[in-house]
Structure 1
Amino acid sequence: MGPTTNMAEANVASVPDGTKDYAPLRSAKQDRHDLRKPHITDLPITRSNWYKHVNWLNTYFIIIVPLMGMVGAYFTPLQLKTAIFAFLYYFNSGLGITAGYHRLWSHTSYKATLPLKIWLAAMGSAAVEGSARWWSRGHRAHHRYTDTEKDPYSVRKGLLYSHIGWMVMKQNPKRVGRTDISDLNDDPVVVWQHKNYLKCVIIMALVVPTLVCGLGWGDWRGGFVYGGILRIFVVQQATFCVNSLAHWLGEQPFDDRNSPRDHVVTALVTLGEGYHNFHHEFPSDYRNAIQWWQYDPTKWTIWLWKQIGLAYDLKEFRQNEIEKGRVQQLQKKLDQKRAQLDWGTPLDQLPVVSWDDYVAEAKNGRALVAVTGVIHDVTDFIKDHPGGKALISSAIGKDATAIFNGGVYLHSNAAHNLLSTMRVGVLRGGCEVEIWKRAQMEKKDVTYVNDSAGQRIIRAGDQVTRIVQPIASADAA
């Protein structure tokens, strides 16, 4: 790294971007790492230090506790009422993440009344995925630095890392991108939940389901195991799929520069968060799925909340902007496909040949045919000509424009495309192609367009060898 690089970094650092380093609101003792000292992630993982790279607290809650729950489930019969409650509580705690942490607080895609905020914060706590402030800060960094080193759960580091590795392995706080969370710091519900997060988790994730099942129908242990531990595990794994599966499986109808993708399977797993390519392009839209038939229960729930007065100011991107993104991506794919095809030597790269030289070459054994001023070598094609050898042979060394464009046969678009791959020269003498080349050089009356790679777009019926047929009209009286 040279002085130029250091100077560039200094210039970038001097430009204010409205963000600040993440500052915990709870006791400073929880932030034990001194940023001035090397972080454990700066060292390679070895047999002697591997355990130092593991975030044991997260590992305990994400892996060890669910394993304990599975063992407990072996000795705990699942009652129907408990199963129904566990599913309903799973759905609501999932909404706490998708509708609350994600669409409300991370992207402010709609506004919620105080009762709804409190409910979403409570349900988010029941999912045990961190506070709304911590979760939203990381997610904003993910959007701002998608697929880069500053992305907290970049899929470029591996599918398993983006799914769970980033949680169970320690992260260097200096490498996580900065984001603006001043609005979250001004939200009393977010701040209260953040400061009292551990209490919220214990009550909402474990105590509430145990009490409901225990007081409701006497299934205390089932409420703790199924409504508590195993439900938490399912909610967490479903949410983690947004970080992993949604960046790996599916299509990219709006932009393919980054990894987010759309797929119905991911949507089914994540309560509608599976249309991730759309979401990354239009993050402030309260919807993930924009078609009525696409699965997005989070969108439907937010819309329902609006109808009953709990939510308002639902944001939607204009359909015109959405369609522009879709069309641009389609065009990009077309351009990529077009670049793989042989469209023949561009006209401006062909040599200009006199008529006499053209005729002489044709008499010397080369099967040359001129159509609208472009010379084509059809030597290898004569035997494959669908119209027979005699017809194509009769045009060698001649101007076959009329023959090719309806005089003998009005050739198809495919025939014009195939003929373009046989170009070898342009006739001198004011022919149409030479005039076209001159107009191109002078930028006069240029009607063609180029694709994103700078290549001329040849649409159906646009080959230079095609002569537009005159419109039939009535005879003079």
Structure 2
Amino acid sequence: MVYIVDKLKTLSTCMPYTPKPLDLPIPASEQNIPPKDQTQTQASIEQEEEEFIKNNYVARTLLNEPELPPITWSNWYKEVNWPQAALLCTEPFIALYGLFTTGFVWQTFIFTIIWYFLTGLGITAGYHRLFAHRAYEATLPLRYILLVFGAGAVQGSAQWWSRGHRAHHRYTDTDLDPYSAHKGMFYSHIGWLIFKPRRKPGVADVTDLHRDPTVQWQHRNYLTLAFLMSFILPTLISGLGWGDYRGGYFFAGVLRLVFVHHSTFCVNSLAHYLGDAPFDDRHTPRDHFITALVTLGEGYHNFHHEFPSDYRNALKWFQYDPTKLMISFFKTIGLAHNLKEFPHNEIQKGRYTMAHKELDKFGRTIAWPKGSAELPIVTYEEYQELSKEDNGRALVLIAGFIHDVSNFIDSHPGGRAFIRSYVGKDATVAFYGGVHDHNTAAHNMLAMMRVAVCKYGGEVEHIKKRLGHVQTPTPIFA
């Protein structure tokens, strides 16, 4: 990176220290070589495009399968998925009615929270990490338990849910993503469920789920299981347990379902908008504690999209991920095994890549010194002659570079007389500890004062040459 004089003029500084470039030619061999002419005929460009589309499933599908017409005020009622819309839009009003008409029973309150976590974990630990991503393996009893509680979240069967979620990961942020964040917060949160999709989701392989007898059992009996686990069972438990049938239905059933629905939906919406991207910023998934808090640990979504088959979403001990802790507990009691973790080295590469990217971005806001390839080259004798010219310049040679320190003399902490004594000389030893071992800031400021490169490096090489030494001098590259 190099500095640009015009850019430096716009920087706020109380100490002007960068000199004007020397009016000397830069060697032709060091100048930037223009790129080769890469003209292409129209026919070759079209051929390349055809080859690209042929081998690119997303591009081919988007080209050959146009989406449905947009939803407007005149056709919206035809495009509504009425069964799902009725469930999702009426349940909040039913819950509100229950809140205003049903008395509070503390046992029901505690049971509602427990039932919320159980059905929520059926989605996060079951549908998501076990069936969609195969992040761990579960015994037969645990598979059935997670499928039953997952049905209580009323989000479709595990087969249907996993098929859409695998498409989401494969085609993230494209039009083949069933709930692409690029279509807006409302769409990715709930709109994709209320309205018919404008196009079919991209292809996703779910043959493993078709062969899984537990998943197929739940798929065949989903409606019965969903009604039983979401409404009937919590009502009966509250009613038979402590006589609160009404609270069991409205709170543990309907209100709990509202929270489970929108908690899960936040993984598709909020987790793609709120937070940072410590592993990859090419797509929308983000990490944030708040999202993790409302999604049972699924909020560290940037990590999850980078390492989807890792059973964890949160890596650090203080990050909230109850789903990870439950899976670890399942392993402890013998219900789960083969918990998958991406190699720590690969995870660190992601962190390093993003940290490096941020540093590069920060670096682009900084003015940097010119390198040897962008400066004229002069001999030591020419340097001495230039330093004698009465043009207001004060040229000092340090570490093979000739610096114009005229703008800095009055600000030098060691006094102007000391710098004046080295004009036309090689001050490398003095600068590098012979008189004072300068700090990093001094090195950085000095580099900004470069105006030329001294051929062969400096005074020592010049003396060797004058005395007839035949060793090949080392050129300066920095």
- Which residue in the other structure is 1:367 paired with? 394
Counterpart residue identity of residue 299, structure 1: K
Greater RCO structure (CA 8 Å; 6+ sep): 2
| Secondary structure of the structure 2 residue equivalent to 1:64 | helix
Q: Is the 8 A contact 1:54 1:170 kept in 2?
A: yes
Distance 2:374 2:476 in 1: 19
Distance 1:254 1:184 in 2: 30
Is the counterpart of residue 84 in structure 1 residue 128 in structure 2? no
Distance 2:255 2:46 in 1: 53
Q: Deviations over 1:250-297 (max 9, x none)?
A: 232222222222222222111111222221222111111222232211
Q: CA deviation at 1:447?
A: 12
Q: Is the 8 A contact 2:377 2:455 kept in 1?
A: yes
Q: CA deviation at 1:446?
A: 12
Q: CA deviation at 1:300?
A: 1.1
Q: Is the 8 A contact 1:367 1:396 kept in 2?
A: yes
Distance 2:375 2:401 in 1: 9
Q: CA deviation at 1:90?
A: 0.2
Q: Deviations over 1:334-384 (max 9, x none)?
A: 233334322201221211123344334333221222112201122222232
- Which residue in the other structure is 1:231 paired with? 256
| Among 136, 142, 158, the residue aligned to 2:168 | 142
Distance 1:288 1:220 in 2: 37
Q: Structure 1: 5+ residue runs without aligned partners?
A: 15-20, 22-36, 436-444, 449-463, 465-477
TM-score if structure 2 supplies the norm length? 0.81
Q: Is the 8 A contact 1:100 1:120 kept in 2?
A: yes
Q: Aligned runs of 1:47-126 on 2, under 5 Å? A: 47-126=73-152
- Which residue in the other structure is 2:285 paired with? 260
6 and 410 in structure 1: CA distance in 2 versus 1, 3 angstrom threshold: closer
Q: Is the 8 A contact 1:274 1:288 kept in 2?
A: yes
Q: Deviations over 1:179-218 (max 9, x none)?
A: 1100000111211222222222111111111111122222
| Secondary structure of the structure 2 residue equivalent to 1:380 | coil
Is the counterpart of residue 404 in structure 1 residue 448 in structure 2? no
Q: Deviations over 1:216-250 (max 9, x none)?
A: 22211111111111100101111111112222222
Q: Deviations over 1:27-78 (max 9, x none)?
A: xxxxxxxxxx998x53233221122333332222122222222123211122
| Among 410, 413, 416, the residue aligned to 2:440 | 413
151 and 53 in structure 1: CA distance in 2 versus 1, 3 angstrom threshold: same
Is the counterpart of residue 343 in structure 1 residue 387 in structure 2? no
Counterpart residue identity of residue 359, structure 1: Q
Is the counterpart of residue 248 in structure 1 residue 273 in structure 2? yes
Q: Is the 8 A contact 1:427 1:434 kept in 2?
A: no
Q: Is the 8 A contact 1:426 1:434 kept in 2?
A: no
Identity of aligned pairs, percent?
Answer: 53
| Alignment coverage as a number of residue pairs | 418
| Among 327, 339, 351, the residue aligned to 2:352 | 327
Distance 1:414 1:395 in 2: 20
Larger CA deviation: 237-246 vs 178-187: 237-246
Distance 1:138 1:432 in 2: 72
Distance 1:413 1:211 in 2: 73
Distance 1:384 1:197 in 2: 80
Q: Is the 8 A contact 2:375 2:452 kept in 1?
A: yes
Distance 1:446 1:205 in 2: 78
429 and 38 in structure 1: CA distance in 2 versus 1, 3 angstrom threshold: closer
Distance 1:247 1:51 in 2: 29
- Which residue in the other structure is 1:30 paired with? none
| Secondary structure of the structure 2 residue equivalent to 1:47 | coil
| Secondary structure of the structure 2 residue equivalent to 1:369 | strand
Is the counterpart of residue 219 in structure 1 residue 244 in structure 2? yes
119 and 173 in structure 1: CA distance in 2 versus 1, 3 angstrom threshold: farther
Q: Is the 8 A contact 2:235 2:248 kept in 1?
A: yes
| Among 2, 5, 10, the residue aligned to 2:54 | 10
Is the counterpart of residue 161 in structure 1 residue 187 in structure 2? yes
Q: Is the 8 A contact 1:372 1:432 kept in 2?
A: no
Q: Structure 2: 5+ residue runs without aligned partners?
A: 1-44, 463-473
- Which residue in the other structure is 2:318 paired with? 293
149 and 386 in structure 1: CA distance in 2 versus 1, 3 angstrom threshold: farther
Distance 1:38 1:47 in 2: 24
Q: Deviations over 1:96-131 (max 9, x none)?
A: 000000010011011111211111111111111111
Q: Is the 8 A contact 2:398 2:431 kept in 1?
A: yes
Distance 1:430 1:379 in 2: 22
- Which residue in the other structure is 1:442 paired with? none
Q: Is the 8 A contact 1:140 1:179 kept in 2?
A: yes
Q: Aligned runs of 1:172-211 on 2, under 5 Å? A: 172-174=198-200, 176-211=201-236
Q: CA deviation at 1:432?
A: 9.8
Q: CA deviation at 1:433?
A: 13
| Secondary structure of the structure 1 residue equivalent to 2:72 | coil
Distance 2:415 2:457 in 1: 32
Counterpart residue identity of residue 426, structure 2: D
